[in-house]
Chains A and B, each alone.
Chain A
């Protein structure tokens, strides 16, 4: 048997029962890899359940910095009886299967193409620790200790992490370190030389951070000066608001009074959550909310109001697998159409597509400037993978000279200095964006009546067709202004003569770059464009125009981005071929590579066939 051999390039998958405290042990392992300077991407694959169902934690270790999922498992740490056999089958030939050998494996575990490593986790744990609650947690720490030996990891990184974690409760650090040692010592004694995977300290990570996207967005909202949020709990968006609350608690408490410079209201539903945001924004506070697909559906009516009455809204959609409840704890990029065109009537919303925590922070802050500048909803399209998993990311930065762009707002003084009659929906500057006032600004000037009903330039109710039409057309002028303000796409031209371009966005990015790089090793020349916003920037159209064939990679079934490119930019459907992954897990580089190769192969065959036909 050829054992898989690798230094700093492999996939480890932990199979646990949820609610058993495995998360902290598994995090400890991923964090240790990170602290050893090696690019790492952990993915928590968890059920919509609190206790008792299977959960996995997949850690990719990759010296080259590929942070997407690769596909395949080199080593499995299987401690969940419910899934033990499947976990066993999933290990790649030559891989490693680590299990709790307190109970022996049955006869069906008979593969001869992998290395089976038994660690009697339960027995070791019960022999050492008496407290039943602690036993459950420490059983998981023991396998981390064993991994440290098997992978030849620097043990002190683990103990340092434990000490840091329990800084305030050093008594708890003790049994954790003991558990690590138990696992390490057992593996050393019984499995010397069994494992050909290893971890070496690296200098690939310098100043990077390990952070989840939801925390980054919540922190971005604090930095951007958000003061009001209405929200309703829904996985996987809840931790955006929890992070906002955590950071606001730290940075927004008045030292003299103990009062908070923030209003966080847990609403009765998503409708109310967005209503709170709209009311607050209308009244001059920066406000936002976070939700997932079902919440977007409920917010749809309000989004139409905000679009038509022109009220800034920052909305975070942490997408999950739909439709309906779908798979609420699995990832997908499937709310593009429902967000872009959310609401009745002719409505279009600005979308932003972050791909890592740094971009979550930056876009999380920029969204407020955009929303207030454009006086319209801005929807940040994150997803469960980005939002809830830890990602290696460039460090966050804030320019202390930055001023918030509050957009076109008239003060009392501005109102007094106006020479012309002010109209709330009067396009003075020709960019489709009008001047607004906050309630309470001026005793006699600037008051107006906000309504979702059709209104004239002075916000008076009207059903006069030409005025309604003019208003709707002005909103399109604003849409064009938005196109110039939203983040540009990231384009990589690897070969100016390449005829194939791929387009993707968000969390597909890392796996897509890896797939392109693998393809280029096969001699294929592929350019790429990462969409970062909707409306699509002119550069997106230029990129499509310069290539003969475009592959659009998305994590949904219906090719939603491709549909939008067709609908908004008139791109021919024949020109765009889809690579679609919608199984609820983060897409893998293996999957994208296979599909790119298959599509290119198909194209070549078709080309050969048609040239033959021409000759005949």
Chain B
């Protein structure tokens, strides 16, 4: 069952510039386990949408199957949502986006949904650069079927079942960069300060924005032997940068010492202002970004933050040169060539 929240709104709740309060971005009450990382990720999403004054009904929430894919029920209840089939969120999101390019698409997936059954669709949504905010809630295990290792579980990591994972893990961020993603980030559900601006940047990005959110499974994979536990992640996290997301036409007030900051102007004119831990790291250089990930991994560190961005790249609609009008708004007059044209076709077939 899903349980709706009460409608009650405190009259003095703060409103954003679109006139919505934070509550307007909430959804049904979560039925995930208490302490689940996914609920924190959901909360970060709500905050990002609220702060960016997104109109809730202009968002479409897409998901596959799994614990993570349930979460679209728990945020933005004024948006349409689509809980599709396992591993197939990217294709359903592709179709939805093709039908109406004017909505904001948030795709929620998990590590089983993305790195195993949905690997093909993940790869191809990336290479088409679909205008989609693809959030993978990554806990290294299959929660809904009770804790089997997923393909992102680190080699040697052991969850509640106790058996160390014998296989190499898949780094979704590295893969995403290599497959042509234009915005790749990694967050931690336990670090909302970092996650909220990452999501905002993704929303402003015109193309596929992939965020791998390490989101611990408290029930099956939060053991002392797991590398996806809250404790392990907190101890091994390495932020490549912290950043402010400055929406379009807002004045930048902060100033940073030279060499430690980088500005990335997004397609819509918004600015991502990065404060880098290491001035040699450039988030627009694809090869260096992959190197950074590998380098930190070899040190046993988990690199987070904005890992790679290319704001100039074309998204799917630009690539296929489709009309600027939403395809679902076109009518007979736009679409049907009429009988005269058909008679000419008949004539050409005689």
Q: Which residues of A contact B (CB under 8 A)?
A: 34-35, 207-211, 219, 222-225, 227-228, 230, 247, 251-252, 254, 257-265, 267-269, 271-285, 287, 301-302, 305, 395-400, 402-404, 437-444, 447-453, 460-464
Contact = CB atoms under 8 A, between A and B. Distances in A.
23 contacts: A208-B350, A209-B349, A228-B327, A251-B341, A254-B323, A259-B322, A261-B325, A261-B327, A273-B91, A280-B327, A282-B95, A282-B96, A283-B99, A284-B328, A395-B346, A402-B332, A440-B60, A444-B57, A449-B72, A449-B81, A449-B82, A452-B84, A461-B73
Contacts of B99: 227-228, 263, 279-285, 287
Interface in B325-343: 325, 327-328, 330-332, 334-339, 341-343
A275 B100 contact: no
Given A259-B323, A276-B95, A283-B99, A209 B82 contact: no
Contact of A443 (B55, B325, B349): B55
B124 A283 contact: no
Nearest 3 A/B pairs, CB to CB: A279-B95, A275-B91, A285-B99
Contact of A267 (B91, B320, B342, B349): B91
Contacts of B265: none
Contact of A447 (B57, B121, B321): B57
Nearest to A276: B95
A442 B128 contact: no
Given A228-B98, A440-B103, A275 B92 contact: yes
B327 A223 contact: no
Contacts of B103: 283, 439-440
B14 interface: no
B130 to A, nearest CB: 10
B9 to A, nearest CB: 13
A400 B328 CA distance: 21
B163 interface: no
- Of B2, B58, B323, B334, most buried by chain A (CB within 10 Å of CB) is B323
Interface string B84-126: 1100101111111111101100000000000000001101100
Interface residues of B, number: 64
Contacts of A211: 349
A227 B328 contact: yes
B80 A448 contact: yes
B345 A396 contact: yes
A437 B57 CA distance: 12
B77 A447 contact: yes
A227 B327 contact: yes
A101 B339 CA distance: 51
A176 to B, nearest CB: 20
Contacts of A252: 335
A282 B328 CA distance: 10
B96 to A, nearest CB: 4
A276 B350 contact: no
A375 to B, nearest CB: 15
A269 B320 CA distance: 19
B155 interface: no
Contacts of B79: 439, 447
A398 B336 contact: yes
Given A222-B337, A396-B345, A263 B322 contact: yes
- Of A34, A258, A264, A279, most buried by chain B (CB within 10 Å of CB) is A279
B324 interface: yes
Contacts of A223: 336-337, 342
A398 B95 CA distance: 28
B95 A449 contact: no
Nearest to B94: A276
Given A268-B123, A287-B99, A261 B81 contact: no
A103 B95 CA distance: 58
Contacts of B206: none
Given A228-B327, A257-B324, A398-B342, A447 B78 contact: yes
B100 A285 contact: yes
B338 A398 contact: yes
Contacts of B102: 440
B341 A272 contact: no
- Of A403, A443, A463, most buried by chain B (CB within 10 Å of CB) is A443
B350 A209 contact: yes
A421 to B, nearest CB: 13
Contacts of B325: 261
B1 interface: yes
B100 A439 contact: yes
Nearest to B100: A283
B152 interface: no
B120 A269 contact: yes
A565 to B, nearest CB: 32
Contact of A440 (B83, B100, B121): B100
B195 interface: no
Nearest to A443: B57
- Of B57, B95, B341, most buried by chain A (CB within 10 Å of CB) is B95
A279 B92 contact: yes
B214 interface: no
A284 B100 contact: yes
B339 A398 contact: yes
B62 interface: yes
Contacts of A34: 350
Contacts of B73: 449, 461
B98 A280 contact: yes
Contacts of A274: 91
Contacts of A284: 99-100, 328
B60 A439 contact: yes
A460 B99 CA distance: 25
B328 A278 contact: no
B82 A279 contact: yes
Nearest to A460: B2
A227 B332 CA distance: 11
A252 B320 CA distance: 13
- Of A230, A278, A302, A402, most buried by chain B (CB within 10 Å of CB) is A278
Nearest to B69: A451
Contacts of B322: 259-263
Contacts of B91: 230, 267, 271-276, 279
Contacts of A444: 57, 78
Nearest to B328: A284
Nearest to A264: B320
Nearest to B58: A440
A263 B81 CA distance: 22
Contact of B327 (A247, A262, A395, A450): A262
B338 to A, nearest CB: 5
A280 B120 contact: no
Contacts of B98: 227-228, 263, 265, 276, 279-280, 285, 287
Contacts of A35: 350
Contacts of A276: 91-92, 94-95, 98
B58 A225 contact: no
A403 B339 contact: no
Given A261-B330, A447-B57, A449-B72, 7 more contacts: A208-B350, A219-B345, A224-B336, A261-B325, A272-B124, A275-B85, A397-B339
A279 B94 contact: yes
Given A275-B88, A442-B57, A400 B338 contact: yes
B346 A209 contact: yes
Contact of A396 (B88, B316, B342): B342
Contacts of B56: 443
Contacts of B320: 260, 263-265
A448 B2 CA distance: 13
A495 B331 CA distance: 48
A494 B246 CA distance: 79
A263 B100 CA distance: 11
Contacts of B345: 219, 396
